[in-house]
């Protein structure tokens, strides 16, 4: 339920609707803590929010283009434009409240 983006697919992946992108690294402990939270959110918000992730070690161009300096960084896009950004591992409730706010 969480699409894996690359440098080549990034722009296409965030251009339509509300998209939450997780900029992560496989070696990052807080990123690993966030995985089950994002999986549950992707299930609960299926059809309303698109969930994607991008490995910053393998696809650094997208990370640089989006000024990602720390991971995990969660960026909310609406129709290709950044709406909100959160840093670090987040609780389900925090992310759900932000998604609800963005969904209006």
Which are the catalytic amino acids? 28, 31
> How many angstroms separate the CA atoms of 90 and 87, rounded?
8
Which whole-number Å values give the CA distances from 94 to 1, 38, 56, 89, in the listed order? Answer: 20, 12, 23, 10
H helices of the chain, in order, are 10-14, 29-44, 60-65, 92-103
Structure tokens at 76: 């909310």
């Amino acid at each position: 339920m969480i699409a894996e983006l690359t440098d080549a697919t990034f722009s296409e992946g965030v251009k339509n609707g509300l998209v939450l992108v997780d900029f992560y690294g496989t070696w990052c402990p807080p990123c690993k803590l966030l995985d089950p939270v994002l999986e549950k959110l992707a299930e609960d918000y299926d059809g309303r929010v698109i969930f994607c992730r991008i490995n910053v070690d393998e696809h650094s161009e997208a990370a640089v283009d989006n000024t990602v300096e720390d991971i995990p960084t969660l960026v909310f896009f609406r129709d290709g434009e950044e709406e909100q950004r959160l840093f670090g591992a987040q609780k389900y409730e925090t992310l759900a409240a932000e998604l609800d706010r963005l969904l209006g």
